[in-house]
Structure 1
Amino acid sequence: MWRGGATAASAARAVRSRLYPDPIHHPATSLAPIASARASSSAPSVASANNVVEAAAAASAAVSVSQQAGSVSDALRHYGRCYWELSKARLRNFSFPCISLSNNPSDVFIVFSALVVATSGAGYVLGSGNIVDMAGLCCTCAGTMMVAASANTLNQVFEIKNDSKMKRTMRRPLSSGRISPAHAAVWAASVGAAGTALLAWKANGLAAGLAASNLVLYAFVYTPLKQIHPVNTWVGAVVGAIPPLLGWAAASTELSVNAMILPAALYYWQIPHFMALAYLCRDDYLAGGYRMFSFADPTGKRTAWVSLRNCLYMLPLGLFAYNWGLTSQWFGLEASLLTMGLTIGALSFMLEPSPKTARRMFYGSLLYLPAFMAGLLLHRQPNEQKVQNMAEKSELDGVLYGADLQDEERARQKREDKKPPRVQSRPPVAYASVAPFPFLPVPIYES
């Protein structure tokens, strides 16, 4: 046993001596692996430290850039949303517990700028001739949209305190403090001036004047009047009736009797529409400090009668449109049926004034106006006055062009007369006679 163990130990020492040389007899060989190991261990540590520092610097720079980009994008998104809401540029959802179909609040579509643009575009199409200028239509709608955005913004600037007291307006940008009044006023002035300038440049001065006057009427007359007297509803109806006149003026450069059909429909339509809204939201308007017609009518009879009366005023508009050559005879029938439906809703509201009947008339008014405008555009006849004006203009242009041609011919003749006369050279001789040979014939000249 012992001898076998000694033999195994000596074999192990021999193998170890071969793998690891003796440090006494071979110092360089024994220290080289240690030095190389130390060098290999120290070099990566320095390189890794440098890489870590560079990565940290790059990461911090990337984080700062991303933070700056994120802050800029957040600011643009924030102010863009505020401008959009101030302008009321789309159909917006407001919670109206007072006109909900059940006990839970429901969202009702409230239209302002979209309605203004739609009515001005409809007026432009109605005022056009056989061909509608699409570029002019787009410029008119864009200018009208900007002026309407300015008017809406100024309205909210003047009514910050009132909006903060009403449930349906307390989330607006100004009343919620998301944007300052000075910032909103600068936005309103800029977009209003740009819209008016666009209409004056691409349309005409009449359209730009109507837009500017409507802006002043809405922001500086209708808005403060809402807190003074119930007549504000009728003034607001005038504001809503001007956009189709603006579109007609932009297309035909003038106003005629035919141009009054759509404005009259808008004026009379707004009265039952807002009377129903004011009746349903009396508490909300009262909390906001507005003076509405329904406040002095606790039973709702007078409010319903005013709505019915204005519905009756709309009954002959379709016949007038056909009689004045604005539409075909089918529109007279369709408009009469539509108005009869709205009139029945107003009659039921008058016979039984209640939130249910008022709500029914309100929704009926929301359906009535798009259907009326669609029928008006579908059955429209080209504006004869615009066609006649275009024919007269083309004839006048032809006369002026002929006169210009005559003037140009006279001027050319005068220039020719002033030039010195040319000396005509004799044509070459076919064959000449020579003096010594008088018997030859007389020379003949080529002509």
Structure 2
Amino acid sequence: MTCRLGKNELFFGICSPICCYGGKQLVFQKRKKIQLQRFPSAEMWRNTCKLLSNPNHNHNLLKSSSYSASNFNVVFGWAPSQATHYYSSPSAATSGSLELGISSRKSDGVRSFSSSSAAVPAVVDHLSSPLTSALQLGRHYSRCYWELSKARLSMLVVATSGTGYVLGSAGSAVDLAGLCWTCAGTMMVASSANSLNQVFEKNNDAKMKRTRLRPLPSRRLTIPHALTWASSVGVAGTAILACKANMLAAGLGASNLILYAFVYTPLKQIHPVNTWVGAVVGAIPPLLGWAAASGEISLNSMILPAALYFWQIPHFMALAYLCRSDYAAGGFKMFSLADASGRRTAAVALRNCLYLVPLGFVAYDWGVASGWFCLESSLLTLAISALAFSFYLNRTTQNARRMFHASLLYLPVFMSGLLFHRVPDNQQSLSEDSLGRITELEPIAQGSENFKPGNQETRSSTGKQARSPASYASAAPFPFLPAPSYATS
């Protein structure tokens, strides 16, 4: 007896054992288990046998629109989209038969199902759906928190804070645990400030092309959710700085958060001076790192904050010039919007680039870095000043973009050079001790000029045998060597 189903290979693989044996004989135990899973009741089994025994009826039944998807799913146990896909083309049907686990081998003239078909797709989907939903939910919130915190900008803030911590560390050794805790606290405080910034500027961000896809304007997160996140990480970051660093670092972190979220953010919609206030906000993190390492703020600690302050002005001027239309649509009062020709914007950028030139010499003169850093910093600053001058002469979008990209390159190179050429405090103290030893020897050398060999008063007043003037002279050119001693005659 031969089973003829016509065109569809899928139904041929299912119907051949049914038509040949009438559904009464089961060849393998695995096939019995699969059949019991597909057809739980005997009545459903008999109805299926009748349905599949008529190939023309089956062919018309699948093509008719009156046959619902739920009936197909109940009878055959597979999704209707899969069955339609397998039925639509012979190649798809062949691949579908392989995916459903229909074996091509024959045993006693009967096609058997392979062991891989024991897993039912519906059961697998039912078991994996909670795990899949949890993974999708975690991925969604992780992405939202990443964008809400402006993670790349926050990591730049952490880099400046870490550089300040290394520069403020006493000696050549750096406390790695303290550095990690300081960077973690700075990251949390910066994330909180950026999140509050987006909460307050939700309506403005929705009007700008550059920011309209952020989590709050796109309604992927609610405002109460964002406020909870911002307050949690802000309090946690300040507590970490207070417990693992010191109260001075925690105070700088909290004040920077308040200055950015509650002063700079509303000022962006009021006056163009917001750019200079934002530059102060960017200059505080390296000072925070120095304070966390040393516990104090000294004159040397102001070199890197000064570089950050003057660097931010040309950086933001170039950005504001490139995004003038976006800032105007968002309702922000930027300096470039009041400058139609762009001449004043370029002049401000050039002036602040020139302010960066002497910082390398100051770092060398104050003993923070070596002379090589003075040379490298001067060359680097002159390069970005040349691009700013080019933008001043020809105020085009291309020149503004070049200056913006140069500003992105300037900061990591400047901080790397400062770290590489820094002078540890132990070398500074050694040179200071040497200078102090020389100054102590000067009055003794002056007193030795009035010494006469036969004068017992001078010998008794000093309490020691007087040395030769050559011994004091030898201490000047080589302060690290001890003065030579002479045996008593």
Q: Secondary structure at the match of 1:184?
A: helix
In the TM superposition, residue 384 of structure 1 has moved relative to its aligned partner by 5.5
Asked if the contact 1:154/1:188 (under 8 Å) is kept, the reply is yes
Q: In the alignment, does 2:137 pair up with 1:137?
A: no
Asked if the contact 2:256/2:284 (under 8 Å) is kept, the reply is yes
What CA distance in whole angstroms lies between the structure 2 residues aligned with 1:217 and 1:385? 37
Q: Give the equivalent residue in structure 2 for 1:82.
A: 144
Q: Give the equivalent residue in structure 2 for 1:285.
A: 327
Aligned with 1:263 (options 305, 326, 343): 305
Change (3 A) 1:79 1:387: farther
Change (3 A) 1:58 1:280: closer
Q: In the alignment, does 2:244 pair up with 1:182?
A: no
In the TM superposition, residue 355 of structure 1 has moved relative to its aligned partner by 1.8
Moved more, 342-351 or 222-231: 342-351
In the TM superposition, residue 63 of structure 1 has moved relative to its aligned partner by 3.2
Q: Deviations over 1:23-69 (max 9, x none)?
A: xxxxxxxxxxxxxx99x869x99988755578999876543331111
What CA distance in whole angstroms lies between the structure 1 residues aligned with 2:352 and 2:359? 12
Q: Give the equivalent residue in structure 2 for 1:126.
A: 167
Aligned with 1:221 (options 249, 259, 263): 263
- Aligned CA-pair RMSD: 2.8
Asked if the contact 1:269/1:310 (under 8 Å) is kept, the reply is yes
Q: Which runs of 5+ in 2 are unaligned?
A: 1-20, 42-76, 78-118, 431-489
Q: Deviations over 1:338-357 (max 9, x none)?
A: 11111111112222222222
In the TM superposition, residue 75 of structure 1 has moved relative to its aligned partner by 0.6
What CA distance in whole angstroms lies between the structure 2 residues aligned with 1:77 and 1:360? 36
Question: 1:88 is matched by which residue type in structure 2?
Answer: K
**TM-score of the superposed pair, with normalisation by structure 2:** 0.63
Asked if the contact 1:318/1:335 (under 8 Å) is kept, the reply is yes
Q: Secondary structure at the match of 2:151?
A: coil
Moved more, 375-384 or 264-273: 375-384
Question: 1:285 is matched by which residue type in structure 2?
Answer: Y
Change (3 A) 1:182 1:53: farther
Question: 2:163 is matched by which residue type in structure 1?
Answer: A
Q: In the alignment, does 2:244 pair up with 1:202?
A: yes
What CA distance in whole angstroms lies between the structure 1 residues aligned with 2:34 and 2:397? 77
Asked if the contact 1:127/1:386 (under 8 Å) is kept, the reply is no
Question: 1:153 is matched by which residue type in structure 2?
Answer: S
Equivalent runs, 1:286-325 vs 2, <5 Å: 286-325=328-367
Q: Give the equivalent residue in structure 2 for 1:378.
A: 420
Moved more, 45-54 or 155-164: 45-54
Equivalent runs, 1:2-81 vs 2, <5 Å: 52=38, 62-81=124-143
Change (3 A) 1:179 1:348: same
What CA distance in whole angstroms lies between the structure 2 residues aligned with 1:371 and 1:87? 25
Change (3 A) 1:228 1:384: farther
Question: 1:334 is matched by which residue type in structure 2?
Answer: E
Larger radius of gyration: 1
Asked if the contact 1:128/1:252 (under 8 Å) is kept, the reply is yes
Question: 2:389 is matched by which residue type in structure 1?
Answer: L
Q: Secondary structure at the match of 2:263?
A: helix
Q: Give the equivalent residue in structure 2 for 1:152.
A: 194
Q: Secondary structure at the match of 2:197?
A: helix
Asked if the contact 2:367/2:428 (under 8 Å) is kept, the reply is no
Q: Give the equivalent residue in structure 2 for 1:351.
A: 393
Asked if the contact 1:249/1:255 (under 8 Å) is kept, the reply is yes
Change (3 A) 1:386 1:329: closer
What CA distance in whole angstroms lies between the structure 2 residues aligned with 1:51 and 1:78? 37
The sequence identity of aligned pairs, in percent, is 65
Q: Deviations over 1:263-301 (max 9, x none)?
A: 000000000111111112111110111100111111111
Q: Give the equivalent residue in structure 1 for 2:410.
A: 368
What CA distance in whole angstroms lies between the structure 2 residues aligned with 1:48 and 1:360? 67
Change (3 A) 1:240 1:47: closer
What CA distance in whole angstroms lies between the structure 1 residues aligned with 2:231 and 2:126? 36
In the TM superposition, residue 216 of structure 1 has moved relative to its aligned partner by 0.7
Aligned with 1:337 (options 351, 361, 379): 379
What CA distance in whole angstroms lies between the structure 2 residues aligned with 1:385 and 1:180? 55
Q: Which runs of 5+ in 1 are unaligned?
A: 1-36, 91-111, 389-447
Question: 2:354 is matched by which residue type in structure 1?
Answer: L
Asked if the contact 2:369/2:422 (under 8 Å) is kept, the reply is yes
Aligned with 2:155 (options 101, 110, 114): 114
**TM-score of the superposed pair, with normalisation by structure 1:** 0.69
Question: 2:239 is matched by which residue type in structure 1?
Answer: A
What CA distance in whole angstroms lies between the structure 2 residues aligned with 1:88 and 1:65? 36
Question: 1:138 is matched by which residue type in structure 2?
Answer: C
